[in-house]
């Protein structure tokens, strides 16, 4: 990572501080930043909620979270972190600010920094975003602040427009950070670094050489821990129109003038504008058998837990190349992979495997880049085989990977919006998904532990999905 200027005094306000998202992602990420020395020495974290929780009770909760999710720390790390934790209760609405304004004023006094940067992180249900934003404006907590919104930013084209107008009524665009943790992954960032830094890759990054692109994120996880949220959301909103569309834009974008925030955002959002609206004939939805038996799920729920889609990008670079997107719950394996499948060359060799030459980015963990290619099988004849070259990114010299949430929160603290989404791109995302959301095909049942409905296999022909239910 490029060295950045030292941060100034910062007050980080975590809405929904005792909720599931804060526990799983935000609190461990913020602790990693503190533990790594990436925060200014003058900072404070204020958790908020409806209950009247004391500072000490909140500190106990945070330490339990670190233990629950296996975040390594010693007593020295914890004591230095705990001293900077506060809690503001009583709720927070346009009519009732609770104790948050007083807690912010006290934090500024304790930091001896009247101009401390204020960062609000809304780890809240999307239905509360507009009201919480209005409350920030009503109680003078929006001026100069940066505000982080979790996904999804809207649930339809109309809902996005309504939310976007409500947010911009209080905040300037430069204050808004719509987070997508897939963009914070080291491997996702390597999609454009590997391409633009290596001529041998950039030269084949187009329709002439690439037959199809696969963005595949199957999960073995169920939805027990967030069943009510998931049954109201489903795989399309939870993953497709957020994470997978953004990763597709990373792959499909034209070279930006620089990798600065404005140029990178513009390149990403511009190519999203070239995404063709989804044809429901190119989409397969599924629901795993037993989903309706989960506590919190309606007995007659039609919510999809699986989606596979064929997306078309109408640019000169990618016209005619299918982008195959797949994700789902309770599948046979958990993977996070982006694969460019290259066309077989014209020439004297026959029977070349259709998926023999593939460039793959593993987005999970620290990430890995894999190149598979057709080679001669050792022996007396010219039989063909497929060989692999792998580069685990944690073996790169001086590697110091941050978890995606840690990276993105650090970018917010520095005011770097390059890995965050813009409203123009999001507006077109909802246009792309509009027909699917208005009139979705029925979700087909599939057995837990499978790779989804068999109809999804046809979308990926002739190569087939590269991720299968078998161990690699």
Q: 342, 304 in Cβ contact below 8 A?
A: no
What span, in angstroms and rounded, lies between the C-alpha atoms of 260 and 109?
Answer: 35
Q: 288, 453 in Cβ contact below 8 A?
A: no
Q: 267, 253 in Cβ contact below 8 A?
A: yes
Structure tokens that stand for 178 in this block: 């719509």
DSSP state of 377: P
What span, in angstroms and rounded, lies between the C-alpha atoms of 120 and 92?
Answer: 13
Binding site per annotation, positions for NADP(+)? 16-23, 50, 151
Binding site per annotation, positions for substrate? 181, 185, 219, 238, 329
Q: Tokens 């084209």 belong to which residue?
A: 157
Catalytic residue among 61, 120, 192, 243: 243
What phi, psi does 364 have (nearest 5°)? -85, 155
Radius of gyration of the CA atoms of the chain, in A: 23
Q: Tokens 């690439």 belong to which residue?
A: 210
User: How many Cβ atoms from other residues are within 10 Å of residue 377's Cβ?
Assistant: 12
Q: Which residues are CB-contacts of 74 (< 8 A; sequence separation ≥ 6)?
A: none
Binding site per annotation, positions? 16-23, 50, 151, 181, 185, 219, 238, 329
CA neighbor of 307 nearest in space, from 431, 425, 212, 444: 444
Q: Which residues are CB-contacts of 422 (< 8 A; sequence separation ≥ 6)?
A: 173, 178, 265, 269
Residue 67 annotated to the active site: no
State the first-to-last Cα distance of the chain, in angstroms, to the nearest integer: 31
Q: 157, 431 in Cβ contact below 8 A?
A: yes
- Angstrom CA distances, 243 to 237, 363, 454, stand at 9, 12, 24
Q: 442, 287 in Cβ contact below 8 A?
A: no
DSSP readout, 285-348? EEEETTGGGSTTS-TT----SEEEEEEEB-STTTTT-EEEEEEESS-S----EEEEEEPPPPSS
User: How many Cβ atoms from other residues are within 10 Å of residue 37's Cβ?
Assistant: 7
Coil, helix or strand for 376? strand
Give the residue numbers marked as catalytic: 243
């Amino acid at each position: 990572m490029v060295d950045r200027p030292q941060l100034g005094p910062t007050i980080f306000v975590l809405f929904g501080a005792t909720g599931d998202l804060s526990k799983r992602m935000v609190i461990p990420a913020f602790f990693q930043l503190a533990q790594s020395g990436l925060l200014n020495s003058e900072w404070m974290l204020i958790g908020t909620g409806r209950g009247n929780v004391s500072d000490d009770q909140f500190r106990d909760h945070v330490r339990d979270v670190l233990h629950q999710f296996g975040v390594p720390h010693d007593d020295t790390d914890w004591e230095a972190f705990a001293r900077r934790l506060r809690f503001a209760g009583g709720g927070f609405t346009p009519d009732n600010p609770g104790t948050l304004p007083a807690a912010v004023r006290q934090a500024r006094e304790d930091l001896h920094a009247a101009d401390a940067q204020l960062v609000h992180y809304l780890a809240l249900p999307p239905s509360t975003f507009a009201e919480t934003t209005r409350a920030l404006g009503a109680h003078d907590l929006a001026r100069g602040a940066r505000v982080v919104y979790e996904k999804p930013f809207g649930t339809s084209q109309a809902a996005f427009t309504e939310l976007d107008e409500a947010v911009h009524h209080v905040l300037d665009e430069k204050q808004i950070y719509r987070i997508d943790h897939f963009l914070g992954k080291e491997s996702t960032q390597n999609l454009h670094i590997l391409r633009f830094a290596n001529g041998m890759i950039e030269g084949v990054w187009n329709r002439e050489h690439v037959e199809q692109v696969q963005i595949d994120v199957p999960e073995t996880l169920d939805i027990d821990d967030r069943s009510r949220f998931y049954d109201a959301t489903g795989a399309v909103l939870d993953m497709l129109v957020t994470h997978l569309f953004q990763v597709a834009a990373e792959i499909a974008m034209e070279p930006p003038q620089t990798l600065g925030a404005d140029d990178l955002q513009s390149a990403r959002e511009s190519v999203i504008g070239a995404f063709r609206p989804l044809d429901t004939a190119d989409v397969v939805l599924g629901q795993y058998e037993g989903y309706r038996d989960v506590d919190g799920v309606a007995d007659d729920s039609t919510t999809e837990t699986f989606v596979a889609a064929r997306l078309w990008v109408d640019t000169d670079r990618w016209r005619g190349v299918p982008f195959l997107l797949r994700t789902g719950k309770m599948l046979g394996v958990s993977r996070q992979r982006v694969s460019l499948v290259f066309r077989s060359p014209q020439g004297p060799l026959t029977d070349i495997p259709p998926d023999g030459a593939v460039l793959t980015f593993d987005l999970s963990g620290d990430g890995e880049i894999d190149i598979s290619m057709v080679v001669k099988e050792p022996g007396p004849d010219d039989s063909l085989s497929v060989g692999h070259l792998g580069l685990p990114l944690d073996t790169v010299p001086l590697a110091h990977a941050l978890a995606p949430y840690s990276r993105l929160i650090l970018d917010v603290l520095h005011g770097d919006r390059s890995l965050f989404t813009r409203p123009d791109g999001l507006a077109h995302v909802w246009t792309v998904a509009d027909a699917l959301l208005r009139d979705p095909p029925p979700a087909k049942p599939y057995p837990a532990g499978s790779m989804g409905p068999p109809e999804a296999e046809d979308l990926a022909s002739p190569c087939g999905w590269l991720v299968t239910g078998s161990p690699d």
